[in-house]
Chain A
Amino acid sequence: MIEVKEVTKYFGSFPAITDISFTVERGEIVGFLGPNGAGKSTTMKVITGFLPPSKGTATVAGYDIVSESLDARRHIGYLPETVPLYTEMTVREYLGYMGKIRGMSSDRIRSRTGDVIEICHLEDYYSSIIGKLSKGFRQRVGVAQAIIHEPDVLVLDEPTIGIDPIQVVETRQLIKDLGGEHTLIVSTHILPEVSQICERVIVIHEGQIVAIDEPQNLARTLVGSERVDLQVKGPQQEVLKELAGVDGVRDVSRINIERGEIPQYRVESELGEEIRASLAKAVVDAGWELHRLNAVVMSLEEIFLRLTTEEDDGGGEVAG
Chain B
Amino acid sequence: MNTFNIAWKETKSYFGTPAAYVVGAMFLALTGVFFVAEITSPFAEASVRGIVDWAGFFIIFLAPLLTMRLLAEEQKLGTLELLLTSPVSDWEVVLGKYIASLLILLAILSVTFYYALLLYVFGSPDTGPVLSGYLGLILYGAAALAIGLLGSSLSSNQIVAAVVGIAILLMLSFVNRIGDLVSGIAEQIVNGMSMTERIADFSRGVIDTSSVVYFLSLAAVFIFLTIRSLETRRWR
Contacts and interface: CB of A to CB of B under 8 A. Distances in A.
B9 interface: yes
A76 B85 contact: yes
A98 B86 CA distance: 8
B9 A97 contact: yes
A102 B13 CA distance: 19
A266 B33 CA distance: 88
Contacts of B79: 84-86
Contact of A145 (B16, B17, B82): B82
Contact of B87 (A11, A45, A73, A83): A73
A101 B6 contact: yes
A51 B16 CA distance: 32
A103 B5 CA distance: 10
B189 to A, nearest CB: 37
B22 interface: no
B77 interface: yes
Interface residues on chain B, size class: 20 to 34
Given A50-B81, A84-B79, A86-B77, A73 B235 contact: no
Contacts of A85: 77, 79
B135 to A, nearest CB: 33
A45 B86 CA distance: 12
Majority DSSP secondary structure for residues of B touching A: helix
Contact of A48 (B2, B77, B80, B85): B85
Interface in A77-129: 78, 80, 82-88, 97-98, 100-103
A50 B5 contact: no
Nearest to B6: A101
Contacts of B37: none
Contacts of B13: 86, 88
B87 A84 contact: no
19 contacts: A11-B236, A49-B85, A51-B234, A51-B235, A70-B89, A73-B87, A74-B87, A76-B85, A78-B82, A80-B81, A84-B77, A84-B79, A86-B13, A86-B79, A97-B9, A98-B86, A101-B5, A103-B1, A103-B87
Interface of A: 11, 45, 48-52, 70-71, 73-74, 76, 78, 80, 82-88, 97-98, 100-103, 145
Given A70-B88, A97-B9, 13 more contacts: A50-B234, A52-B234, A78-B82, A80-B78, A84-B80, A84-B81, A85-B77, A86-B79, A88-B16, A98-B82, A98-B86, A101-B5, A103-B2
Closest 8 CB pairs of A and B: A84-B79, A84-B78, A84-B82, A82-B78, A48-B85, A74-B87, A73-B87, A100-B5
